[in-house]
Amino acid sequence: MTDNQSLHTPNNQSNGVLLEVRDLSVDYYAVNGIVHAVKEVSFELRRGEILGLAGESGCGKSTLAYAISRLLRPPAYITGGQVLYHPRKPEKREATSHIVAVSDLSSGQSAHNGTAAASPLPSPETIDVLRLSPAQLRAFRWNEMAIVFQSAMNALNPVMTIGTQIMDVLKTHCPEMSTAQRKERAAELLKLVGIAPDRLRSYPHELSGGMRQRAVIAIALALTPELIIMDEPTTALDVVVQREILDLISSLCREFSTALIFITHDLSLLLELADTIAVMYAGKMVEKASSREFYAHPRHPYSYGLLNSFPKLHGPIRRMAGIPGSPPDLRSVPAGCAFHPRCPFAWQPCQRLEPQLLPSTAETPRQLVACHLYDAHQRPEGPPSSAEFAARYEALAEGSAIV
Ligand SMILES: Nc1ncnc2c1ncn2[C@@H]1O[C@H](COP(=O)(O)OP(=O)(O)OP(=O)(O)O)[C@@H](O)[C@H]1O
């Protein structure tokens, strides 16, 4: 990948923060023990920003996304934290004006007793997502946030035409629209995702996988949400169609300034799509950086290993080292840094102190990393160089002992 390719830097216009996740924790109360799937995860998402969530299978990416969208079901429980959403559009504020605001919650009003819905509040500046009532949540989900799952294209109703399915969403959430307006809007949405409007009359089985996924994206866009969460939306598609869908998602997000949380195992794909990359390991966020910074200098040893587990299309040829071992059982994560048993740099503090997500270096304050290598108290000589990272992982690939 070259510099002039699509390694985006965050959109730093005056458009501020859309979503704040603060110390969010989720446990699964499974029969064989408590799984700490998400642990005190905090991050901010700006309007129009594309955030890519990466990490090995089972590190908590989907659980985090489900928690933000309040789609978790028992045995999953949110055990702490906040999800704060800052709406922008005046018309959207009107649509969600019955949603309880943080300021009103702090005055003691319950979000769950229906009072808020019965007496509409002034347009909230901040929506406390975890405290919305089921009715408020339904409005919030469609008006402000849409979710596209991996299997979404198979979740289309097989006995309803695509047009009916799009128009149903509009009918439920925009009852003021006439049938003709709904039809017009449905055709517009299909066009937007590159499907000919005459396909409104098609049933899902009459569309290819790529077209079904496009139709799902059209449904997600129906109410022009400000935030879309996509969990592995392209994994079931072949690489050519995958590329087309990604280009589509990217251009739609840029066009409408829609923020996107995109989850995938495929880090190389994220580097092309996302403004920001967040890496999770064992339920925690261990690094967050712009795609450009991340690609140039992954700071966490885990990020380095992850990035070097994928072949590069550009730049010098080098060995793919991979990461030895496997992620821990989330019912009993190792003390200290959860990655230390697999880390080629682990030393004493890593076994007892849990590192916090902090600015990596003075020069890269926006690149956050949770690693003692960047803690001047623990390592006064400063973090290792890129060459040292490469050498340690090279040694692992050669089968040398971890230092
Ligand atoms: N219903 C459940 N009961 C118990 N544990 C669960 C349940 N669902 C998920 N988990 C556990 O929670 C952890 C996080 O799972 P999650 O699906 O969020 O990870 P992920 O990073 O999205 O993985 P993948 O990329 O494979 O989808 C895993 O250890 C998983 O085994």
CB 210 within 8 A of CB 151: no
Cβ of 269: how many Cβ atoms within 10 Å? 20
Task: Tally the C-alpha atoms within 13 A of residue 318's C-alpha that lie toward its C-beta.
Answer: 17
pLDDT for residue 72 is more than 80 = yes
Atom index in ligand 1 nearest the CA of residue 35 equals 5
pLDDT the model gives residue 5: 35
pLDDT the model gives residue 317: 52
pLDDT 10s digits, 258-290: 999 999 888 888 998 999 999 999 999 999 999
Q: Counting runs of H as helices and runs of E as strands, what totals does the chain give?
A: 14, 12
| 226 confidence band (pLDDT: 50, 70, 90) | very high
pLDDT for residue 315 is more than 50 = yes
What is the ipTM for the molecules in this complex?
A: 0.98
Higher pLDDT, residue 84 or 232: 84
Collapsing DSSP to helix, strand or coil, 128 comes out as strand
Query: Cα of 22 to ligand 1 centre, how many Å?
Result: 20
What is the DSSP annotation of 251-275? HHHHHHT-EEEEE-S-HHHHHHH-S
pLDDT for residue 102 is more than 90 = no
Query: Cα of 80 to ligand 1 centre, how many Å?
Result: 18
pLDDT for residue 114 is more than 80 = no
Residue type, 258: T
pLDDT the model gives residue 355: 97
**Ligand 1 cavity residues, CB under 6 Å:** 28, 30, 35, 37, 55, 57-63, 75, 265, 330
Structure tokens at 365: 């304050």
Beta strands, E only, 314-384? 358-359, 368-369
Percent of the chain with pLDDT over 90: 53
- Please tell me whether the overall predicted TM-score, pTM, comes out greater than 0.90 for this model: no
Query: Which residue's CA is the nearest one to ligand 1's atom 16?
Result: 60
Please state the rounded mean pLDDT for residues 5-30. 71
How far from 95 is each of 98, 99, 140, 242, CA to CA, in Å? 8, 9, 9, 34
Please state the rounded mean pLDDT for residues 283-306. 94
Structure tokens at 229: 């969460």
pLDDT for residue 117 is more than 90 = no
pLDDT, mean over the chain = 83
| 110 confidence band (pLDDT: 50, 70, 90) | very low
Buried b (16+ CB within 10 A) or exposed e, 147-165: bbbbebbeebeeeebbbeb
How much of the chain is in helix, strand and coil states, percent to nearest 5? 35, 20, 45
Please state the rounded mean pLDDT for residues 19-24. 97
Query: Which residue's CA is the nearest one to ligand 1's atom 6?
Result: 28
- Cα(320)–Cα(150) distance, integer angstroms: 28
CB 157 within 8 A of CB 165: yes
pLDDT for residue 176 is more than 50 = yes
pLDDT for residue 174 is more than 90 = no
Structure tokens at 135: 């009715």
pLDDT for residue 368 is more than 90 = yes
Query: Cα of 37 to ligand 1 centre, how many Å?
Result: 7
CB 7 within 8 A of CB 292: yes
pLDDT the model gives residue 276: 97
Query: Which residue's CA is the nearest one to ligand 1's atom 26?
Result: 57
Rounded to 10°, the helix 209-221/239-256 angle is 20
Query: Which residue's CA is the nearest one to ligand 1's atom 14?
Result: 60
Q: Is the dihedral of CA 115, 120, 122, 125 positive or negative?
A: positive
Query: Cα of 63 to ligand 1 centre, how many Å?
Result: 7
Residue partners of 64: CB distance under 8 A and separation at least 6: 21, 24, 26, 38, 41, 53, 280
**Pocket mutation for ligand 1, best pick of 41, 59, 150 (most atoms within 8 Å of C-beta):** 59
pLDDT the model gives residue 115: 32
Higher pLDDT, residue 197 or 240: 197
Please state the rounded mean pLDDT for residues 33-49. 96
- Short-list 302, 254, 236, 247, CA closest to 269: 247
Query: Cα of 345 to ligand 1 centre, how many Å?
Result: 28
pLDDT the model gives residue 311: 61
**Pocket mutation for ligand 1, best pick of 31, 63, 66 (most atoms within 8 Å of C-beta):** 63
| 321 confidence band (pLDDT: 50, 70, 90) | low
CA angle 167, 19, 254 (to 5 degrees): 60
